[in-house]
């Protein structure tokens, strides 16, 4: 039986000259138009071919598909799928410094992962924090996904909503939500600080940050707050865990770019 690829959008009958009729699947692509999967038997035969060129080509396609699934699994919003470290505009010394810090975190990710070193991208609205946070996550996935790395993007609001959704629910539990957020090798938590600032919200985010800290897993926090305000929002314990092992802080202090369009 042929397994349907993940992220299949549509299935139609295809015709292969070698293998006859097969279910052809239209598969979603990360940041690009969907593509037809093609004959799965041809692809299997290609990966096991005695011809090294044919085998190399087929294996390359297979790896690209696995990488595509890992990128889609990460949950990066559509708007930020095209955001990379290379296309972030760094036209001032402060922006160059911010880009260098974020790129350095990616370049040193093996060490950061080993010690559980985290990062905080802090500053005013519209200064490119989510662009860089998404770009860092995407770069790490592209570099290490085929070695088994899993990355995830989430907003603080979505995390809190997911926990609240378990109340009175006999299915998914609060522990399940935390486990799903602690499991990824790299987690980006965006929009920290736009919540109501309740003790419940603070505790939920602490559970995630502390759970990952205990498992020695890096977390990237993106917030419109400064360090002092972030301590008020998350609590001293959470911020101290993010700063442990030399956790980096990148400050965005320039004007919003959103009004320039």
Residue 234 has pLDDT above 50, yes or no: yes
Q: What confidence score (pLDDT) does residue 135 get?
A: 98
**Average confidence (pLDDT) over 88-108:** 96
Mean predicted lDDT score pLDDT of the chain: 94
pLDDT tens readout for residues 32-54? 999 999 999 999 999 999 999 99
Q: What confidence score (pLDDT) does residue 261 get?
A: 33
CATH number at 78-256: 3.40.50.300
Q: What is the 3-state secondary structure (H, E, C) of the chain?
A: CCCCCCCEEEEEEEEECCCEEEEEEEEEECCEEEEECCCHHHHHHHHCCCCHHHHHHHHHHHHHHHHHHHHHHCCCCHHHCCCCCCCCCCCCHHHHHHHHHHHHHHHCHHHHHHHCCCEEEEECCCCCHHHHHHHHHHHHHHHHHHHCCCEEEEEHHHHHHHHHCCCCCCCCCHHHHHHHHHCCCEEEEEEECCCCCCHHHHHHHHHHHHHHHHCCCCEEEEECCCHHHHHHHHCHHHHHHHHHHHCEEEEECCCCCHHHC
pLDDT tens readout for residues 143-190? 999 999 999 999 999 999 999 999 987 789 999 999 999 999 999 999
Q: What confidence score (pLDDT) does residue 169 get?
A: 78
Measured in residues, the chain has a length of 261
How would residue 74 be classed by pLDDT, with cut points 50, 70 and 90? very high
pLDDT tens readout for residues 51-69? 999 999 999 999 999 999 9
**Average confidence (pLDDT) over 6-18:** 96
Are 23 and 2 in contact, with CB atoms under 8 Å apart? yes
Q: What confidence score (pLDDT) does residue 196 get?
A: 77
32-36 and 20-29 beta bridge pairing = antiparallel
Are 136 and 118 in contact, with CB atoms under 8 Å apart? no
How would residue 258 be classed by pLDDT, with cut points 50, 70 and 90? low
Q: What residue ranges do the domains of the chain occupy? A: 8-73, 78-256
Predicted TM-score (pTM) above 0.85: yes
Q: What confidence score (pLDDT) does residue 2 get?
A: 62
pLDDT tens readout for residues 127-140? 999 999 999 999 99
């Amino acid at each position: 039986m042929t397994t349907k690829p993940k992220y299949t959008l549509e299935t139609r009958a295809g015709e292969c000259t070698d293998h006859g009729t097969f279910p052809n699947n239209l598969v979603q692509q990360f940041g690009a138009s969907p593509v037809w999967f093609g004959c799965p038997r041809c692809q299997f035969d290609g990966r096991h071919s005695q011809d090294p060129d044919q085998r190399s080509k087929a294996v390359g396609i297979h790896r690209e598909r696995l990488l595509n699934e890992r990128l889609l699994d990460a949950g990066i919003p559509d708007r930020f799928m095209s955001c990379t470290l290379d296309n972030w505009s760094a036209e001032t010394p402060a922006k160059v410094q911010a880009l260098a810090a974020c790129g350095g975190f990616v370049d040193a990710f093996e060490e950061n992962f080993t010690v559980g070193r985290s990062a905080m991208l802090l500053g005013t609205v519209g200064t490119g924090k989510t662009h860089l946070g998404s770009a860092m996550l995407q770069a790490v996935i592209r570099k290490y996904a085929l070695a088994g790395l899993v990355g995830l993007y989430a907003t603080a609001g979505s995390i809190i909503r997911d926990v609240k959704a378990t109340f009175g629910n006999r299915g998914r539990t609060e522990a399940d939500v935390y486990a799903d957020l602690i499991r990824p090798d790299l987690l980006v938590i965006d929009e920290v600080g736009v919540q109501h600032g309740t003790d419940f919200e603070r505790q939920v985010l602490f559970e995630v940050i502390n759970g990952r800290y205990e498992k020695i897993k890096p977390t990237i926090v993106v917030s419109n707050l400064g360090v002092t305000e972030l301590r008020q929002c998350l609590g001293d314990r959470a911020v101290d865990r993010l700063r442990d092992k030399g956790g980096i802080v990148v400050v965005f202090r320039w004007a919003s770019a959103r009004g320039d369009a």
